[in-house]
Structure formats: structure tokens, C-alpha cells
Amino acid sequence: MSKTQHPVELLRFNTCGSVDDGKSTLIGRLLFDSKSIMEDQMEALERSADITGGGQVNLANLTDGLRAEREQGITIDVAYRFVATPKRKFIVADTPGHVEYTRNMVTGASTANLSIVLVDARNGVIEQTRRHSYISASLGIPHIIFAVNKMDLVDWSEERFREIRDGIESFLPKLDLFKDVKFVPISALEGDNVVTFSDKTPWYEGPTLLGHLESVHIASDWNLNGFRFPVQWVNRPNNPTDKTLHDFRGFSGQIAGGIVKVDQEILVLPSGQKSKVKEIWTHDGSLEEAFCPQSVTVVLEDNLDVSRGDTLVGFDPLPGHSSDLAARVCWMNPRPLTSGNKYYLKHGTQTVQAMISSLESKIDIRTFEPEPNPVELVMNDIGEVRLRTSKPLVFDGYTTNRLTGSFVLVEQGTNATVAAGMLHSPAQQYKPEYTDFSI
Amino acid sequence: MSSYHLDHLQYLETESIHVLREVAAEFERPAILFSGGKDSICILRLAEKAFRPSDIPMIFLNVETGHEFPELIDFRDRRAEELNAKLVVRTVDEALEKGIATATPGQISRNALQIPVLLGAIDEFQFDCCIGGARRDEEKARAKERFFSFRDAFGQWDPKNQRPEIWSLYNARLNPGENMRVFPLSNWTETDVWEYIKKENLEVPNIYFSHERECFRRGDQWLPVPPVHEESGKADPYEGARPSEEEESRTMICRVRTIADMISTGMIESPAESIDDIITEVAAARVTERGSRADDKASEAAMEDRKKAGYF
């Protein structure tokens, strides 16, 4: 799989920051300067500029695709955009700045490898800067860029830029660790240091924003330690396309961590049965080995009872296995989260019932300090909770594996998605009952 | 680059396969909207990859306006048969006869009339999920779509109040009467689609390649001249969609870049004879794919408004 005709890497990033920090303008600028805007889009922009913008083309209208967004001049929901340069392909999530649309910011950020947090050079670090930095760190986004925007409005002051950088660097140690952090002084409106270097910042020696996006090391962002395979769908053909496969019984899914090889010993959890990998089947032919995040169909040596929601795991290391869980949650519903509430919890490929057994703390976004024993979490709060699930989960800590360490809560009745949850590392690993294993 | 590495097409492929398998596992009666166009051709290949050696566990559904390119219909029927799939076709004409849909006087395009036909089919077959080939790069309202896009009992999309969609944990829960639209190609671009067609060696209808055709100029589009109306005594289904005396007609060397029906599809002048030619042409294009779609030109919010009403 490694050798192909198009060895082009894909980087997913999101832009966040407060309203009017210029997120949509920045993406508009990236699209415009990398020539990813087409003539008909430009014509549409000019048409709308004549109507609402007093003749001035508004780059933000490129991503604010909803009528309500253009009316109010704000971003309500994530817009996804696509930029390709000779070096990389990018999926860009333009996420809303308003605090009431934090759920949509989390949506856009959850799948990103990199976050750009915009800071208005005039206003400096404000609560939304802190909130979005905290959420980006909690979501385990490995790379972050603080783009200090509207530098033209502070006369390209190096002192102001340093002041903002120092302010951010003073709170970063309180957050979960990023792999790398960059600060770039820009003007999204004028384009300085976005795609091309600005002659107004001789004191800035770092890369342009796009230069960094094109070069930041992302190849190791997927988890290749500890095989995890949540079974999505049992593949048992009634009428196989290949008649020799009438006894075929495979387990289809996407590898959520690690590498799997033919003949490797695996455990089926939660049942604890062990087996060996007989075949890694794909429509394009069998593989000797497969890795995260490939989608494959695994055939086992033994005829075991395995169904959706079960997880095939490797031994080194074993995951956690518990129905008593500790997690950080980002609450996204107008009805508050309180202790004793029941929800559906979707984790990997299984949905179980979950009860909030206690609210441990709520994060104060101004200080990043936990407030112990809050009564409730309201919309956009982030806090630490304990949950009990109706069935044990097979999981890893979110900081170890973003796929096996994450869950969402769904409200019963309305089916609204109400929380994003990030599990803490298990207190203890699953203990196999067998002793005949060499681990 | 390490050997445990996916390039962008492999990444997009595994993401889409994961989405298709979630649909198969979470819904009782899912359907794939299959028109025979390039995007749905990719969906079918992804479905093969997701479900083989089993049958694709979904019915294929297509809504016809009655103004289809015959090449597309032939291709659609043949492909469904090759895949041993059940294909259901529902038409605007039937819906008009049954009274499910009502034509707007003076409106030639039947694009909007596809909405009640689709909703009627969902109701008739009790589909709880429809998989579509829409992509976020096509249009700015589509850029706002989730992979799993919730529709209420009236088939409506509420763009201001979408479910958060976090990581790849798709919330597929529905109450009776509600419906999901799922878009496995959300993160694909037009270039990705053609590169995948090339990589997978997929057949596409020949109208995607350069050919000679009678076209006429209407607005800023070159529209195909509809087939000759032979059945005397019956109303011309293309009434209003034929060139008038004032409209310029000529024979063009052209192809389609995106396909709606004959009334809404602008032809583009093109010498592209192969997939490689198309990839080169798309890379150099200075207008978007949907720039040749008459149905999107109605207003800045044309797509958003149709989606709110139940369009896919």
C-alpha cells in the first residue's frame, strides 16, 4: 500500500478563534492566493459584494455558505474547503468563533491534525483564544499555530507580537501537550505571511503560514502501537461473489490502532477468547499485514462468536476493560449535564447505556483550574466526569489513542448528540485468563 | 516516508468504506442513490470494497426527471445488473400522475420535482437511510454537510441546528419517520474522484468524454438539443427546452463535466478523450464543476433552499 502513483500527503486542519478574528477571511486568502478559487466563485463573490458589501469583495463569503451566515456576517457551522498545492492536499475546517457554536467548533477540530488559532493583534489573548486552545489540546490535536492576525492594525509591531506570544506561552504548560507550536504574524486581509513573506516583518524569521502547513511533520500522527480492531460488520456471504468463499466468515472494520499480521495471536474482547489471524482479506486481494487506519476484513483461525461492538486486540499493550470510566467531556446541549443522567454512549462500533455517576470538576477557562464538584455542566462547559456503562468498554486513554479513547453521548428520546468524551487512561489493563501466552 | 503510510486517495477510501459499513450496521433499510454519474460510480466501487465477498446490502435507487441522457440510463441499468443489485427507479412523470408532485406552471426544469419523488420513494420502501455521492467541494451549502445528515419527518435539513459530528463516531439514531442522508464522499474533490476512477480503472458513461453534439446557447450555458419529438398526439416532454429562433445553435465537440438531466446540464467544449485528459482538464479549470449546472444558478442559496426542502 505504501507505493502508489500519488504519494501526496493529506493534512486536515481547522481554523478557530473568536468571532471577527478573521478565520473565514484567512481561509478565503489561502484559497485565493493558492489559486483555489474559481472564476464563477469569484463572480458570485463580486455579485454579493455589490449587494451587501458596498462593492468590496468579502473573502469570508467563500466559506460562509448559509443564508443565515451571510445575513449575520458570522460563521454558524463548520464549512469544509479543499486546497491543493504541489506539496500537499489540505482539508480545511472553518469553524465558528461564537461561544454558542462551540459544538460545531469541536466537530471541525475533532478530525484535524493541526489547529490554527487566530488572535486579533489589537485584542490579544481573550477568553475564546483560551477556550479554543484548551479544546484543541484536549482533543489531542498534535500541531497548533497561533496566527496573530490584523498585524497591519498595530503597525506591524514586533513588541505587540512578542507580548501576545509570551501571554500564550505562559498558559500552554497548563494544557495537554502539543507536538509543536508556532506563532506567525499575519494580515489575512492583505495576505502578509499567509502564502508569501511580508516585507513588513523583517524581524520575523519563521515560515509563512502555508509554508508551515506544507512542511509540518504529520506522518507519525496515526497510532501504530497496540493493535485495535473494533468489529464493524460481520461479513458472511449468503451468495458469495466468489463461489469458493461459501464458508467465508470475516470481520470487517477499520483498524483503530497498531498493525496486524497474518498468523498473529489476537484476543477477542470482551469475551476474552483468543485466536490467530488467518487472513487479512480485502477486495483488492489478501494482505500480509495491515495498519491503522486501513479498512480490512479479518478472518480468524477459530470459529468464534464475534459480532459488531467486539474488539480484536493485540497483546502489546493490552487495552483497558471497564464499565467504570473517568473522562473529560465537552458538553454541547442546552439541557445541562447533571449527575445521575442517563445517555446512550457510542464508543468505537458499540452503543451502550451510560449513567453519569459523578461530576468531578468543571474547568474554569480563564484560569484552566478545575472547580471541584460542580452541580452541573452547561452548554460549552468542559469538565471531568465519572460514568458507569451497561457493558464494559474496551478502551485506551484518549492521549494514547484518539479512536479507542473517544466517545459521544446521545440524549435518549431526542437522539441529539450532547457530549464529546475523552477517556482517561485505564487504571489497569485487561488481564487475560490464559497463562499459555508468551506476551 | 514510512511504509505504514496512506496517500490521500487511500485515506479517503478507508474513510468512505468505514462510513458505508456504519450504514450497513446501523440502518435497517438503507438505499444507495445511483444515477450512473461519476460520483455514484465511485460509491459503488467503495461499496464493493466495503462488503465483498457478500452482496452490497443496499437497494439502488434512482429518481428520473424524464429528461435523462439515454447513455446514462443504459449505463446505470447495466452496472446495477453487473453488481447483482436491485435497482428501483421512480419517475417525476409517475409522481405527477399520482399527484405526489405538482408542476410549477412555466417551470421547464424538473429538478425541484425530484424532491417529492425521492421523499415518496423513501416512504414507499421505508428507507431509513439514503447514501448519496454529494461532495463538500461542489457547492458552499454542501460544504456545510455532515457525513450523516439528519432529516426530520418532512425530509427537511436544518442547517442551523445540525448534530455535532465528532471524530468518526456517527450518531445514526432516528425516531420513526425520520431519515438519514449519508455522504461517503464528503471529503473528496472532483480531482480525487477522477484520480480514483483512473486508479480503479472504472468505466464511466461515454458522455463524459469528448463527442460531437448539437447544442444551443441559453443564458451562459451550452445546452444539448433534446432528441426529436416523434410521438405525434402526445405533448412534447421537452417543450420549452428546445432552441428558439433567436437562440444560437451549433455542432460542438464537447462533453459533460457534471450530469443532471438534459435540461440542466451545460456541455463544455472539450477535446478530452481519456481519463488522463479529464484529470488534466479539471486541474486547469478556472470554473467549478457546478458552474455548468443550470439548477444551481437560480440564486446564491439555490442549493441550500432545495436541501432544506428534502433534496439530497
Size of interface A-B (CB pairs under 8 A): 203
Q: Can you give the residue ranges of every domain in chain A?
A: 9-215, 228-313, 320-423
| Cα A416 from Cα B174, distance rounded (Å) | 10
| Cα B247 from Cα A256, distance rounded (Å) | 58
The pLDDT tens digits for A231-251 are 999 999 988 888 888 899 999
A119, pLDDT greater than 60: yes
B184, pLDDT greater than 60: yes
Answer for the pair A256, A229: CB distance below 8 angstroms, yes or no.
Answer: yes
Instruction: Tell me, rounded to whole angstroms, the distance of Cα A437 from its chain centroid.
Output: 36
Residue B287: strand, helix, or coil: coil
Whole-number average pLDDT of chain A: 90
Q: Which stretch of DSSP H or E encloses residue B291?
A: none
Chain A residues within 8 A of B52 when measuring between CB atoms: 241, 283
Beta strands in A209-272 (DSSP E): 228-230, 233-235, 250-254, 259-261, 265-269
Residue A324: strand, helix, or coil: strand
> Which of A386, A396, A384 has the alpha carbon at shortest distance from A428?
A396
What pLDDT does residue A423 have?
98
Instruction: Quote the percentage of chain B above a pLDDT of 70.
Output: 97
| Cα A246 from Cα A242, distance rounded (Å) | 8
Tell me: ipTM over 0.90.
Answer: yes
| Cα A434 from Cα B224, distance rounded (Å) | 71
- Yes or no, beta carbons of A417 and B286 under 8 Å apart: no
What pLDDT does residue A4 have?
38
- The amino acid occupying position A61 is N
- Mean local confidence (pLDDT), A398-414: 96
* CA triple A124-A127-A132, angle to 5 deg: 100
Q: Which residues pair with A14 in a beta bridge?
A: A93, A115
| Cα A48 from Cα A57, distance rounded (Å) | 8
Lowest mean pLDDT among A221-225, A390-394, B174-178, B296-300: B296-300
How many CB atoms lie under 10 A from the CB of residue A98? Answer: 16
Lowest mean pLDDT among A89-98, A225-234, B84-93: A89-98
Task: Tell me which residue in B4, B10, B187 faces A91 most closely, judged by beta carbons.
Answer: B187
* Topology classification of domain A9-215: Rossmann fold (3.40.50)
Domain B8-188+301-308 CATH superfamily = HUPs (3.40.50.620)
Residue B150: strand, helix, or coil: strand
Lowest mean pLDDT among B62-66, B103-107, B186-190: B103-107
Question: pLDDT-based confidence at A72, cuts 50/70/90?
Answer: confident
A63, pLDDT greater than 90: no
Q: Which residues pair with A92 in a beta bridge?
A: A13, A81
User: Which of B10, B15, B54, B279 to probe the A interface (max A CBs under 10 A)?
Assistant: B54
The reply to whether A228-313 shares the fold of A9-215 is no
- As a CATH number, domain A320-423 is 2.40.30.10
A70, pLDDT greater than 90: no
Q: At the top level of CATH, which class does the domain A228-313 belong to?
A: mainly beta
What pLDDT does residue A398 have?
96
Whole-number average pLDDT of chain B: 92
Chain A residues within 8 A of B307 when measuring between CB atoms: none
Minimal C-alpha gap between A305 and chain B (Å): 17
| Cα A170 from Cα A70, distance rounded (Å) | 37
Q: Can you give the residue ranges of every domain in chain B?
A: 8-188+301-308, 206-295
Minimal C-alpha gap between A99 and chain B (Å): 14
- Yes or no, beta carbons of B291 and A406 under 8 Å apart: no
Using left for φ > 0, alpha for ψ between -120 and 50, and beta otherwise, residue B177 falls in: left
Q: Which residues pair with A345 in a beta bridge?
A: A352, A409
Chain B residues within 8 A of A379 when measuring between CB atoms: none
Residue A229, C-alpha cell as written in the block: 480492531
How many CB atoms lie under 10 A from the CB of residue A162? Answer: 14
Chain B residues within 8 A of A261 when measuring between CB atoms: none
Instruction: Quote the percentage of chain A above a pLDDT of 70.
Output: 94
Q: Show the DSSP H helices in chain B as ranges.
A: 8-26, 38-51, 70-82, 92-98, 114-125, 190-199, 275-284, 302-308
Q: Is the peptide bond before A270 cis (omega within 30 degrees of 0)?
A: yes
- Kindly identify which residue of chain A lies nearest to residue B145, measuring between CA atoms: A79
Residue A93, C-alpha cell as written in the block: 475546517
